C-alpha cells in the first residue's frame, strides 16, 4: 500500500504553488539528500550525478502543479528522479542486448541482497564500479523494486537483457565482496 501524502507535504506543495517565499527552498532542503543519493546510484560519475540531480529538481518543480496528493510527495519525487536518471542514461546509449542462452534459470535464484551486513556506503562504492547497464538494472530491480518487464520497457531493452544485466551485476558484486 502506498504511503499517503502527509499534511506537511500537502501544505508544502500548496505553499509552493501559491508562491510562498521559501517554499521551494524548503522542498529542496527536505528532499535533496534522498534524491542526490538516487542520482549517485545511477550516474557514471559525480559530475553526471550533479547534472541528473539538477535536471530532476527542475522537472519536479515544473510538474509540482500536477501532484495529485495520491501517495507521498517523496515517493512521487523519487519516481521523477529515477525517470530523469534513466532519460540521461538512455541518451548515452549505455545498454546493450545480451543473451542468457548460456545461463541456466537456477542461477537467478541468487539471494536478493548481496549481504545483510553491507553498509550502504560500501554498496554505493561497489555499484559505482559496475558498468552503467549493470548498475542501472541492479538499482531498478533490487533497490527501486521494478519488475524485469518494467525495466525492459523503461530502458527499451528486452526482458532477457534485463535479467542478464542483473545476473552479471550480482555476479560481479559477489566477486568483489569475496575478494575484499
Q: Classify domain 7-91 by CATH architecture.
A: Orthogonal Bundle (1.10)
Classified as helix, coil or strand, 125 is: helix
Domain ranges of the chain: 7-91, 105-179
CA–CA gap between residue 12 and residue 14 (Å, rounded): 5
Classified as helix, coil or strand, 108 is: helix
CA–CA gap between residue 128 and residue 138 (Å, rounded): 11
Please give the CATH topology (third level) of the domain spanning 105-179.
Arc Repressor Mutant, subunit A (1.10.10)
Q: Phi and psi for 73 in degrees, rounded to 5?
A: -60, -40
What mean pLDDT do residues 136-162 have?
A: 91
pLDDT at 136 over 60: yes
pLDDT at 127 over 60: yes
- CA dist 24 → 14, 17, 18, 52 (Å): 11, 9, 11, 18
39, 49 contact by CB (below 8 A): yes
∠ CA 74-69-72, nearest 5°, is: 25
- CA dist 70 → 1, 34, 64, 164 (Å): 11, 20, 13, 35
Cα dihedral sign, 56-173-140-113: negative
pLDDT at 111 over 70: no
pTM over 0.75: no
- Give 100's pLDDT tier (boundaries 50, 70, 90): very low
Could you report the per-residue pLDDT of 12-45, keeping only the tens digit for each? 999 999 999 999 999 999 999 999 999 999 988 8
CA–CA gap between residue 20 and residue 85 (Å, rounded): 29
14, 73 contact by CB (below 8 A): no
- Give 101's pLDDT tier (boundaries 50, 70, 90): very low
Amino acid at each position: 500500500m502506498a504511503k499517503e501524502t502527509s499534511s506537511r507535504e500537502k501544505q508544502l506543495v500548496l505553499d509552493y504553488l501559491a508562491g510562498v517565499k521559501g517554499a521551494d527552498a524548503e522542498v529542496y532542503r527536505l528532499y535533496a539528500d534522498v534524491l542526490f543519493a538516487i542520482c549517485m546510484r545511477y550516474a557514471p560519475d559525480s559530475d553526471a550525478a550533479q547534472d541528473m540531480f539538477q535536471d530532476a529538481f527542475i522537472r519536479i518543480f515544473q510538474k509540482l502543479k500536477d501532484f495529485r496528493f495520491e501517495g507521498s510527495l517523496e515517493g512521487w519525487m523519487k519516481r521523477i528522479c529515477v525517470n530523469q536518471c534513466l532519460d540521461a542514461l538512455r541518451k548515452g546509449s549505455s545498454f546493450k542486448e545480451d543473451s542468457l542462452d548460456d545461463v541456466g534459470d537456477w542461477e537467478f535464484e541468487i539471494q536478493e541482497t548481496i549481504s545483510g551486513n553491507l553498509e550502504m556506503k560500501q554498496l554505493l562504492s561497489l555499484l559505482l564500479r559496475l558498468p552503467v547497464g549493470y548498475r542501472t538494472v541492479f538499482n531498478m530491480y533490487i533497490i527501486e523494486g521494478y519488475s524485469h518487464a518494467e525495466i525492459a520497457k523503461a530502458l527499451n531493452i528486452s526482458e532477457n537483457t534485463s535479467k542478464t544485466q542483473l545476473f552479471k551485476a550480482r555476479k560481479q558484486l559477489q566477486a568483489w565482496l569475496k575478494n575484499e
